[in-house]
Each structure stands twice: as structure tokens, then as C-alpha cells.
Amino acid sequence: DGGITQSPKYLFRKEGQNVTLSCEQNLNHDAMYWYRQDPGQGLRLIYYSQIVNDFQKGDIAEGYSVSREKKESFPLTVTSAQKNPTAFYLCASSDGTYNSPLHFGNGTRLTVT
């Protein structure tokens, strides 16, 4: 089955540590996205990539970094510079055309204490 796999499902880290969230897709999609979801708020865009080896900052990129070395993979690193990292993180992909729907993974819930 084609889809997006995010791992792990739950992640716990101590404050001051960097952590990397995995996102892999086998949909052959060019575009990939990272969103953050907080209770009572809409999804907010962290980073996106429309092609391999290229990515752009979204609305809340501070404290995060990404790479896109392979078409199917778009890992997100939450650095110690992110002030409030505890959240639900969602990875998504699309074929990159204007009217293509977004496909989402099942998310990673990160808790930093």
C-alpha cells in the first residue's frame, strides 16, 4: 500500500537535546511538508520541499531543520533552540501540482521535559 510512514509514534526527550523525526513516503510524490499541530489551533507549516535537495522555510521554521537528500525521505530535526517543542508533528506529501490533495502520515507526538 502506498502511503507516508512517520516514526516513532511517540518520542520523549529532555530539554536541550536535539531530536530527529522520520518521514518516508512511497507515493512517488515530489513535494513534502512538515506541520506542527497544537490543541485548538490549525496546522502550522514548518518546512516544505518541492524537489530533492531543495527546501523552504514555512511560517514557524525557527528551531527546526530539515534535509531532502532522497525523494522519499524528509526528516525533521527539532533543535534545542526551539522554545516550545512539545507538540504533534505531521508529515505530508503531494504530487506538487496546484490542485493535488495533501496526503498525511499518522504523526509523531513529541514530549520534551
Partner 1 sequence: KQEVTQIPAALSVPEGENLVLNCSFTDSAIYNLQWFRQDPGKGLTSLLLIQSSQREQTSGRLNASLDKSSGRSTLYIAASQPGDSATYLCAAKSINDYKLSFGAGTTVTVRA
Binding region for partner 1 (CB under 8 A): 4, 6, 35, 40-45, 58-59, 90, 92, 98-99, 101-107, 109
User: Nearer to partner 1 by C-beta: 18 or 57?
Assistant: 57
- 53/70 Cα distance (integer angstroms): 8
User: Nearer to partner 1 by C-beta: 79 or 104?
Assistant: 104
User: Nearer to partner 1 by C-beta: 14 or 98?
Assistant: 98
Least CB distance to partner 1 at residue 24 (A):
14
Distance of alpha carbon 37 from the chain centroid: 11
User: Nearer to partner 1 by C-beta: 85 or 105?
Assistant: 105
Least CB distance to partner 1 at residue 48 (A):
8
Q: Cis bond leading into 8, ω under 30°?
A: yes
- Please give the span between the terminal C-alpha atoms of the chain, in angstroms, as a whole number: 36
What lies within 8 Å, CB to CB, of 47 at 6+ separation is 33, 34, 55, 56, 57, 58, 61, 64, 66, 76
Least CB distance to partner 1 at residue 18 (A):
24
Least CB distance to partner 1 at residue 98 (A):
5
- 66/101 Cα distance (integer angstroms): 22
